[in-house]
């Protein structure tokens, strides 16, 4: 039972990283075509803030 919980926690954290990475990639791709693109770090930070609430909520629901 403990190993199962640990496996779910690890899987959930990998899922969070994948969602953040895909969203950052999409935002950077969209940023490439802007006439005056903002700096890359700002785009990545904004993209992570964009999905953070939903990813955190999904992780909390999985844990509970």
In the block, which residue shows the tokens 């693109």? 37
Domain count, the chain: 1
Residue-range definition of the domain harbouring residue 6: 2-63
Whether 10 has a pLDDT exceeding 90, the answer reads no
Span 12-61, pLDDT tens digits: 778 888 999 999 999 999 998 888 989 999 999 999 999 988 888 888 88
Please give the model's pTM, rounded to 2 decimal places.
0.76
Question: For residue 29, what are its two tokens?
Answer: 């791709």
**Residue 45 has what pLDDT?**
94
Alpha-carbon gap, residue 20 to 35, rounded angstroms: 25
Report in angstroms the alpha-carbon separations of 54 from 1, 34, 36, 44, 49: 27, 27, 29, 17, 10
């Amino acid at each position: 039972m403990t190993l199962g919980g640990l496996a779910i926690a690890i899987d959930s954290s990998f899922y969070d990283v994948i969602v953040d990475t895909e969203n950052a990639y999409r935002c950077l791709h969209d940023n490439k075509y802007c006439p005056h693109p903002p700096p890359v770090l700002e785009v990545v930070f904004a993209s992570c803030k964009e999905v953070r609430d939903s990813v955190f909520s999904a992780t909390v629901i999985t844990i509970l």
